[in-house]
Chains A and B, each alone.
Chain A
Amino acid sequence: MVPNDRKYTREHDWVKIEDGIAILGITDHAQEALGDIVYVELPELDSDIAIGDNYTTVESVKAASPVDSPVAGRVVEVNEALDEQPELLNEDAYGQFIAKIEFAEINEDALLTAEEYEQLLAEEE
């Protein structure tokens, strides 16, 4: 099930807004498509990210998937647990964030609701 407490991108990433902070991650569909995740390249704390920047790259054995940020702002937290255990993203993609960004700008138009995202998944099937 796609949680409806957050928004989605067409590239299978999720974003959850809490008090001016955008929490970013990848969807269950994304982790499944990648297969066993072996490395998550976390952004640097305090670095500035623009909309569309690759803020992280998620690697599996045979693929590397750069993830674009739907928000612009400053990285205030990264999920350091992924450094040691990248497989957490395979186990619980919606429960594990990758980075939190204190955002100044957000590209709302590009974001989908849970319902719209489910529809997208159905179309891609």
Chain B
Amino acid sequence: MRQSYKLIFERSHEGRRAYDLPALDVPAVDAIPANMKNEAKLDLPELGEVDLVRHYTNLSRRNFGVDNGFYPLGSCTMKYNPKINEEVAGMFEDMHPLLDEDMSQGALRMMYDLEGYLAEICGMDAFTLQPAAGAHGELAGLMLIRAYHEKRGDTERTTIIVPDAAHGTNPASAVMAGFKVKEIKSAPDGGVDLDALREAVGPDTAGLMLTNPSTLGLFERNIKQIASIVHEAGGLLYYDGANLNAIMGIVRPGDMGFDVMHINLHKTFSTPHGGGGPGSGPVGFKKHLAPFMPVPVLVEREGMIELDYDRPDTIGKVKMFYGNFAVCVRAFAYIRSLGGKGLREASENAVLNANYIKNAMRGVFDIPHDRICMHECIVTPTEEMMEKGVHTTDVAKALIDRGYHPPTIYFPLIVHEAMMIEPTESESRETLDEFIEAMKEIASEALTAPESVKACPKNTPIGRPDETTAARKPIVRYVKPE
């Protein structure tokens, strides 16, 4: 199985080419001043088209996507990415973003309608599609909170409270938005510790960031108390939408008391993640935050959708143009395909599938919080496995050998040796059963032949990589040998 693979730069042969262009039909000009010319030949590969196509086709075969198999990566909602959505997204690809509004009504109308759908799904008053990813949405949402307090002259509110179970982006986004971060410890069940929260809030509280269902995959039962503690202290409530896939059509962040939130369209709304992006992180908010939303704002006037830049209290722009538009088209297509009924069905089955797996893990792995979970569950290796030296990493690598993408591992940080399994609604019962069987096999092998588990993966192009050397002596680009 082991097989290294040449870089495209190592396939280069001087003089080969894969491109052609029409002959220049206007006079060539020598316009660039001598000191600003690039006279040297760029160091890019030269190869024929077929070799280039084979290089990338074979590279893709060294990768694993949802289309290849089960991908229960917790907190990432790796659901199926419908093919029709890819096709319809292409319908808009030749549109320049700076077309006059009367030339781009279809695209603007679609964005406007999508904002409305997202507001209904989340119980928010309005949405902006501008942020390019979840973390970018967090940043924009926090900027709204900051602008809200600033506008009221409430300049002492400089602290964002973040539970220790939160995604790392939460505290990082808060700092980028200019806040201080106060981390609070979670209760034993992974929920917010109400006493710790009461202790933490004060006149410096700008807001609380919360994921619900929590990063442990459990619904925050005290959400109403949490909302009132934060609101009574004068803070706002931020909803991290990473786990929205559990609750569509069942309960809405706006109804829970959240003031502002982001969605990851590349999680809940089925847009493909592209191996790391592009995502899309629309931000929803209640009326009191609307004056601060990023420009441009889509408004309907006399049947036309316009881009309104005249918003005196806006936080400004957070990105070029209007967001990752083609990603939004895919999410739009998903919502229109499923409707309200279909979205609820998706959430119900996501939660059903997660509970089905969790139930089957009893007695196989440890389940730190064994109650009804939402769309994902957390399991850990048992004491006996760890005594044999088999840890979460090893279980993950053993899953790879069995053709599965492993769950999210070592997150949330508050659960030691966590494996966070999120099956999504896309998976059939037999896929879940086969995965459960694989987990059982690994669990038993961990006790009977731990060395074999620790030697995984064996069926992959590379073995476990040396990350220490990679970080000590970073090589981050190819340099031709002398």
Where the two chains meet, the residues of A that have a C-beta atom closer than 8 Å to any C-beta of B are 36, 38-39, 59, 61-62, 86-87
Residues of A within 8 A of B468 (CB): 36, 38, 61
In angstroms, Cα B471 to Cα A39, docked, is 8
Q: Decide yes or no whether B310 CB sits under 8 A from chain A.
A: no
**Smallest Cβ distance from B321 to chain A, in angstroms?**
35
Interface of A is mostly: loop
In angstroms, Cα B467 to Cα A59, docked, is 13
How does the 8 Å CB contact mask read for B452-472 relative to A, with 1 for contact and 0 for none? Answer: 000000000000000110011
In angstroms, Cα B468 to Cα A62, docked, is 9
In angstroms, Cα B414 to Cα A76, docked, is 40
Residues of B within 8 A of A61 (CB): 467-468, 471
A-B contact pairs, 7 of them (CB 8 A): A36-B468, A36-B472, A38-B471, A38-B472, A39-B472, A86-B472, A87-B472
Q: Which of B88-133 contact A (CB under 8 A)?
A: none
Residues of B within 8 A of A62 (CB): 410
Residues of B within 8 A of A59 (CB): 471
**Smallest Cβ distance from A25 to chain B, in angstroms?**
19
The 7 tightest CB contacts between A and B, nearest first, are: A38-B471, A36-B468, A38-B472, A61-B467, A61-B471, A61-B468, A38-B468
Residues of A within 8 A of B467 (CB): 61
In angstroms, Cα B410 to Cα A108, docked, is 38
Residues of B within 8 A of A86 (CB): 472
Residues of B within 8 A of A38 (CB): 468, 471-472
Interface of B is mostly: helix
Instruction: Tally the A-B contacts, defined by beta carbons under 8 Å.
Output: 14
**Smallest Cβ distance from B391 to chain A, in angstroms?**
13
In angstroms, Cα B267 to Cα A86, docked, is 39
**Smallest Cβ distance from A13 to chain B, in angstroms?**
22
Q: Which of B427-482 contact A (CB under 8 A)?
A: 467-468, 471-472
**Smallest Cβ distance from B446 to chain A, in angstroms?**
22
* A-B contacts besides A36-B468, A36-B472, A61-B468, 7 pairs, CB < 8 Å: A38-B472, A39-B472, A61-B467, A61-B471, A62-B410, A86-B472, A87-B472
**Smallest Cβ distance from B339 to chain A, in angstroms?**
44
In angstroms, Cα B472 to Cα A39, docked, is 6
Residues of A within 8 A of B471 (CB): 38-39, 59, 61
In angstroms, Cα B468 to Cα A61, docked, is 6
| Most chain B beta carbons < 10 A, residue from A36, A39, A62, A86 | A36
Residues of B within 8 A of A39 (CB): 471-472
Residues of A within 8 A of B472 (CB): 36, 38-39, 86-87
In angstroms, Cα B472 to Cα A62, docked, is 13
Q: Which of B243-262 contact A (CB under 8 A)?
A: none
**Smallest Cβ distance from A103 to chain B, in angstroms?**
28
**Smallest Cβ distance from A85 to chain B, in angstroms?**
8
**Smallest Cβ distance from A96 to chain B, in angstroms?**
15
In angstroms, Cα B209 to Cα A95, docked, is 43
Closest to B471 in A: A38
**Smallest Cβ distance from B36 to chain A, in angstroms?**
35
Closest to A35 in B: B468
Residues of B within 8 A of A87 (CB): 472
In angstroms, Cα B466 to Cα A61, docked, is 10
**Smallest Cβ distance from B393 to chain A, in angstroms?**
11
**Smallest Cβ distance from A1 to chain B, in angstroms?**
27
In angstroms, Cα B410 to Cα A86, docked, is 25
**Smallest Cβ distance from A58 to chain B, in angstroms?**
12
How does the 8 Å CB contact mask read for B409-433 relative to A, with 1 for contact and 0 for none? Answer: 0100000000000000000000000
Closest to A90 in B: B468
Closest to B468 in A: A36
**Smallest Cβ distance from B469 to chain A, in angstroms?**
9
**Smallest Cβ distance from A3 to chain B, in angstroms?**
27
In angstroms, Cα B468 to Cα A20, docked, is 37
In angstroms, Cα B171 to Cα A35, docked, is 24
**Smallest Cβ distance from A30 to chain B, in angstroms?**
17
**Smallest Cβ distance from A84 to chain B, in angstroms?**
9
In angstroms, Cα B239 to Cα A19, docked, is 55
**Smallest Cβ distance from A56 to chain B, in angstroms?**
17
| Most chain B beta carbons < 10 A, residue from A39, A61, A86, A87 | A61
In angstroms, Cα B467 to Cα A61, docked, is 7
Closest to B467 in A: A61
**Smallest Cβ distance from A71 to chain B, in angstroms?**
25
Closest to A38 in B: B471
**Smallest Cβ distance from A57 to chain B, in angstroms?**
13
In angstroms, Cα B323 to Cα A36, docked, is 40
Closest to A86 in B: B472
In angstroms, Cα B109 to Cα A90, docked, is 60
How does the 8 Å CB contact mask read for B145-179 relative to A, with 1 for contact and 0 for none? Answer: 00000000000000000000000000000000000
How does the 8 Å CB contact mask read for B163-205 relative to A, with 1 for contact and 0 for none? Answer: 0000000000000000000000000000000000000000000
